[in-house]
């Protein structure tokens, strides 16, 4: 018999091996086999008749039985094609760490095809508690969190076994096989837990669906949400997407009937106050309303969270609040450190920084922003007797990124201050509005019912602010989807980022040109003008360009770009494609 095996390599095709007499393996089983002079762990994707005389033999099986079903293998193949990455890299990123010695395990439960249900979206304030309760008295379930910290919190909360890399390799393996045999009801993990076999009827819950942690760099190079939904439709498990502020894509799918939104009556809602920062943030990060809110909270012995953004990279008019945007793409332009230039992250066009604001003619155009360190120092000076910290979770005034609100979930804060919402709103990202809305909503949930949110911004009339203040999700998504539709962003169009990195400027430019020529004839694609991109290694040059296309854009570009992706040829740059860049 011959086994076809895929490895964690950027190579699409499987490798064939002879199966020694007595060694029986099946698709979905891991094996160790010689490849390029070393023994490597790969995944069997097919077993077929044949002697395989000319082939090298599989050394041994890693586990005594398959760890993935045929459906899971197919799911990975689909995800790999969809993200222009390899089957092997995708599969091997979604299985538990291999054991030191051959391990005796039970095979996964048999496939259970049935009528797939409609995925549900839970947006109400009680969503997490309801899921926790359901998990405590329900059947087999998998909870997927955006990061390891959230996995740890959920595992402790619902008393579940962990599948993410925050647990030891042994514990992860134990959790995987216990879940497959129905020995534990609930397992928690990050995206690496996506394929854990669950006896039917199973539930897969995606926590904080809007969180960018659900699409980190690296395999599987597809959004976790997409893989979860595809898995559920193949095995008819129940899907729950949890988020107070879902992605615009998910909200749109609700409107299209692809996801059922579970609404709940609006609960109590805190006051969201905006504080105009014109001329203030340059010298001091706290406006009067925010100072008062901190004072009041400290007096009442309640805690305050001040949310800061990591970096402010856009250019803002200090007089009218105008953010410099790309006229082609509508996203804010990033201020480049070196040289006085602005760049659009999407179309990558670079233009010189104007001397005056295109909006009002004012001359106070400046990058701005307060990082956590500067804010901490400033708050300490203003409140010398209050415990202020970026690191101590017991401090009265906590300063940190938006993830602070997630970490503090469950504790009603006295106030949340958004130090500079404009840093989020003007981020060079078409999701800026969505991110700002999510932050404001999370702040409101964190202070509900009796606290107060203070938003420092030059744009108090922004639709994300107004919708959050009014506790009106529909209002936000209606506006956001209109914007996405007009400018051709997801969910209406899909983006791809193609980059060519060469050892020289000329080589990178030539590679970029070859890609553009190859894609030129494909109907339905819009290619944005290429520009120099961030060259990652020490030397070399990178050019990249964005493609906008229909939902099947991966398939449309895969063919034309295949020759550039497949092999590194002499004098040719390394070409990479990122599908659905965020």
Partner DNA sequence: AGCACGCCGACT
Partner DNA sequence: GTCGGCGTGCTC
Q: Which residues contact DNA by CB under 7 A?
A: 9-11, 13-17, 33-38, 55-56, 568-571
Residue placing its CB nearer to DNA in the complex, 32 or 548: 32
CB of 555 to DNA, least distance (A): 22
Residue 183 neighbours by CB under 8 Å, 6+ apart: none
CB of 538 to DNA, least distance (A): 11
Residue 153 C-beta-side C-alpha neighbours within 13 Å: 15
Residue placing its CB nearer to DNA in the complex, 59 or 371: 59
CB of 29 to DNA, least distance (A): 17
Beta bridge partners of 506: none
Long-range pairs for 131-136: beta carbons < 8 A, 24 or more residues apart: 131/205, 131/207, 131/240, 131/242, 132/157, 132/158, 134/203, 135/160, 135/185, 135/186
Residue 301 neighbours by CB under 8 Å, 6+ apart: 396
Residue placing its CB nearer to DNA in the complex, 94 or 317: 94
- Say if residues 525 and 483 touch (Cβ distance below 8 Å): no
Residue placing its CB nearer to DNA in the complex, 22 or 37: 37
**How many CB atoms sit inside 10 A of residue 377's CB?**
12
Q: How far apart are CA 295 and CA 384, in angstroms?
A: 12
- Say if residues 489 and 432 touch (Cβ distance below 8 Å): no
The tokens describing 469, both together, are 């203040």
- Say if residues 40 and 9 touch (Cβ distance below 8 Å): no
Give the chain's largest Cα–Cα span.
81
Torsion on CA atoms 460, 462, 465, 470, rounded to nearest 10 = 100
CB of 10 to DNA, least distance (A): 4
CB of 517 to DNA, least distance (A): 22
- Say if residues 481 and 248 touch (Cβ distance below 8 Å): yes
Residue placing its CB nearer to DNA in the complex, 136 or 568: 568
Residue placing its CB nearer to DNA in the complex, 32 or 484: 32
The tokens describing 20, both together, are 């020694």
Q: How far apart are CA 474 and CA 255, in angstroms?
A: 11
Residue placing its CB nearer to DNA in the complex, 255 or 571: 571
CB of 541 to DNA, least distance (A): 15
User: Residue 399, SS3?
Assistant: strand
Residue placing its CB nearer to DNA in the complex, 88 or 321: 88
CB of 78 to DNA, least distance (A): 22
CB of 219 to DNA, least distance (A): 11
- H or E segment and range at residue 421: helix 421-425
Residue placing its CB nearer to DNA in the complex, 22 or 537: 537
Of residues 283, 97, 233, the one with CA closest to residue 172: 97
Q: How far apart are CA 480 and CA 220, in angstroms?
A: 28
Q: From the DSSP assignment, how many helices (H) and strands (E) are in the chain? A: 16, 28
CB of 15 to DNA, least distance (A): 4
Residue placing its CB nearer to DNA in the complex, 57 or 200: 57
CB of 223 to DNA, least distance (A): 22
Residue placing its CB nearer to DNA in the complex, 340 or 568: 568
Of residues 20, 25, 18, the one with CA closest to residue 2: 18
CB of 61 to DNA, least distance (A): 16
Using alpha carbons only, what angle is made at residue 347 by residues 345 and 349, rounded to the nearest 5 degrees? 85
Residue placing its CB nearer to DNA in the complex, 15 or 122: 15
Beta bridge partners of 416: 305, 453
Q: How far is CA 263 from CA 53, 228, 254, 260, 347, in A?
A: 62, 22, 11, 9, 38
Residue placing its CB nearer to DNA in the complex, 13 or 351: 13
Q: What strands lie across the sheet with 260-262, from one edge to the other?
A: 161-162, 186-189, 141-144, 203-207, 238-242, 120-122, 260-262
CB of 44 to DNA, least distance (A): 12
430-451: string of b/e by CB count within 10 Å (b at 16+)?
bbbbbbbbbbbbbbbbbbbeeb
User: Residue 152, SS3?
Assistant: helix
Of residues 400, 180, 391, the one with CA closest to residue 310: 400
CB of 21 to DNA, least distance (A): 16
Residue placing its CB nearer to DNA in the complex, 394 or 539: 539
CB of 430 to DNA, least distance (A): 29
Backbone angles phi, psi at 284, to 5 degrees: -145, 140
């Amino acid at each position: 018999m011959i086994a076809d095996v895929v490895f964690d390599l950027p190579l699409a095709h499987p490798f064939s091996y002879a199966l020694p007499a007595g060694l029986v393996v099946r698709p979905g089983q891991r094996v160790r086999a010689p490849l390029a002079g070393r023994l490597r762990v790969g995944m069997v994707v097919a077993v077929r008749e044949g002697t395989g005389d000319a082939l090298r033999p599989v050394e041994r099986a890693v586990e005594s039985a398959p760890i993935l079903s045929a459906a899971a293998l197919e799911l990975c193949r689909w995800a790999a094609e969809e993200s222009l990455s390899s089957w092997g890299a995708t599969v091997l990123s979604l299985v538990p760490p291999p054991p030191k010695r051959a391990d005796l395990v039970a095979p996964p439960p048999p496939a259970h095809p049935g009528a797939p249900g409609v995925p549900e979206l839970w947006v109400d304030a009680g969503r997490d508690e309801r899921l926790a309760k359901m998990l405590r008295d329900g059947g087999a379930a998998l909870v997927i969190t955006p990061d390891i910290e959230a996995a740890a919190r959920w595992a402790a909360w619902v008393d579940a076994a962990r599948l993410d890399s925050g647990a030891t390799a042994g514990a992860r393996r134990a959790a995987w096989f216990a879940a497959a045999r129905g020995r534990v009801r609930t397992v928690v993990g990050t995206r690496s837990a996506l394929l854990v076999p669950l006896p039917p009827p199973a539930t897969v819950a995606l926590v904080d669906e809007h969180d960018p942690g659900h699409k980190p760099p690296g395999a599987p190079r597809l959004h976790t949400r997409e893989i979860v939904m595809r898995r559920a439709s193949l095995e008819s498990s129940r899907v729950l997407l949890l988020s107070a502020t879902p992605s615009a894509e998910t909200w749109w799918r609700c409107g299209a009937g692809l996801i059922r939104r579970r609404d709940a009556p609006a609960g109590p809602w805190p006051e969201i106050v905006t504080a105009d920062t014109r001329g203030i943030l340059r010298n001091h990060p706290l406006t009067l309303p925010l100072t008062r809110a901190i004072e009041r909270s400290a007096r009442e012995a309640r805690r305050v969270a001040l949310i800061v953004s990591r970096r402010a990279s856009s250019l803002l008019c200090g007089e009218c609040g105008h953010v410099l945007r790309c006229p082609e793409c509508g996203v804010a332009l990033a201020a480049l450190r070196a040289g006085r230039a602005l760049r659009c992250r999407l179309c990558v066009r670079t233009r010189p920084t104007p001397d005056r604001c295109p909006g009002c003619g004012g001359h106070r155009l400046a990058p701005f922003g307060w990082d956590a360190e500067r804010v901490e120092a400033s708050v300490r000076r203003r409140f010398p007797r209050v415990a202020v910290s970026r690191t101590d979770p017991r401090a009265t005034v906590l300063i940190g990124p938006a993830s602070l609100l997630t970490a503090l979930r469950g504790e009603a804060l006295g106030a949340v201050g958004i130090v500079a919402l404009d840093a989020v709103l003007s981020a060079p990202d078409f999701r800026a509005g969505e991110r700002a809305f999510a932050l404001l909503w999370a702040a409101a949930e964190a202070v509900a019912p009796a606290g107060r949110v203070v938003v420092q911004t030059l744009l108090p009339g922004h639709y994300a602010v107004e919708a959050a203040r009014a506790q009106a999700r529909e209002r936000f998504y209606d506006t956001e989807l209109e914007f996405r539709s007009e400018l051709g962003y997801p969910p209406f169009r899909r983006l791809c980022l193609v980059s060519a990195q060469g050892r020289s400027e000329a080589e990178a430019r030539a590679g970029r040109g070859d890609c553009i020529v190859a894609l030129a004839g494909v109907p339905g694609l819009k290619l944005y003008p290429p520009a120099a991109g961030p060259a990652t290694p020490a030397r070399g040059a990178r050019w990249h360009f964005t493609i906008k296309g229909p939902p099947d854009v991966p398939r449309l570009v895969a063919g034309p770009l295949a020759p550039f992706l497949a092999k590194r040829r002499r004098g040719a740059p390394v070409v990479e494609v990122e599908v659905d860049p965020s």
